[in-house]
Structure 1
Amino acid sequence: MKYRAVLKQSEGWWIGWLVDLPGVNAQEKTQEECLESLRIGAEDMLITPIECGGDTVMKYVEVSERATA
């Protein structure tokens, strides 16, 4: 799966975030390192278990491939 990353250079650092996964951010010295940190952050976020209980349920929402191109 692909996620949209925004990268910008500021004062010698590459700062990046994933548009599609709020909360996944990175700051590294090179663009490649920043992208790798974003990939690791996304993986960590997506494998973190989320516990639901009481009147809370978790569901999945299907998004068409057209929207993710």
Structure 2
Amino acid sequence: MAKVTQLKIELEQEEDGRWIGEVPTLPGVMAYGQTRAAALAAVQALALRAMADRLEHNEAVPEELLNVSFIAA
């Protein structure tokens, strides 16, 4: 059975009211949203795009990243 890698998402509300989500283990994966839910959805989508891009370009992506779950902190 494949190991599931859980990617931690850090969410924080900015002073201007917007929310920012970040996946610290994936450099550059951060996204804003007007609500917490919007930031969460945007950063999850960006994380999946970043992993797909690495796969398409034959870059090193650990095999366990093919089975991913997210944890919002």
Q: Please state which band the TM-score falls in when normalised by the shorter chain.
A: 0.5 to 0.7
Q: TM-score, normalised by structure 1?
A: 0.68
Aligned counterpart, 1:35: 40
TM-score (norm 2): 0.64
1:16 counterpart SS class? strand
Deviating above 3 A after TM superposition, structure 1's stretches of 4 or more consecutive aligned residues are 58-62
1:5-55, Cα deviation, whole Å (9 max, x unpaired)? 111111110012101111111000111111100110011011112257xxx
**Equivalent residue pairs, number:** 57
Task: Name the structure where strand makes up a greater proportion of residues.
Answer: 2
Q: CA RMSD in A?
A: 2.3
Which structure ranks higher in relative contact order (CA pairs < 8 Å, sequence separation ≥ 6)?
2
Task: Indicate the percent of aligned positions where both proteins have the same amino acid.
Answer: 26
Aligned equivalents of 2:13 and 2:41: distance in 1?
A: 16
Map of 1:50 onto structure 2: 57
Answer yes or no: is the 8 Å Cα contact 2:12–2:21 preserved in 1.
yes
Shift of 1:61: 7.5
Larger Rg: 1
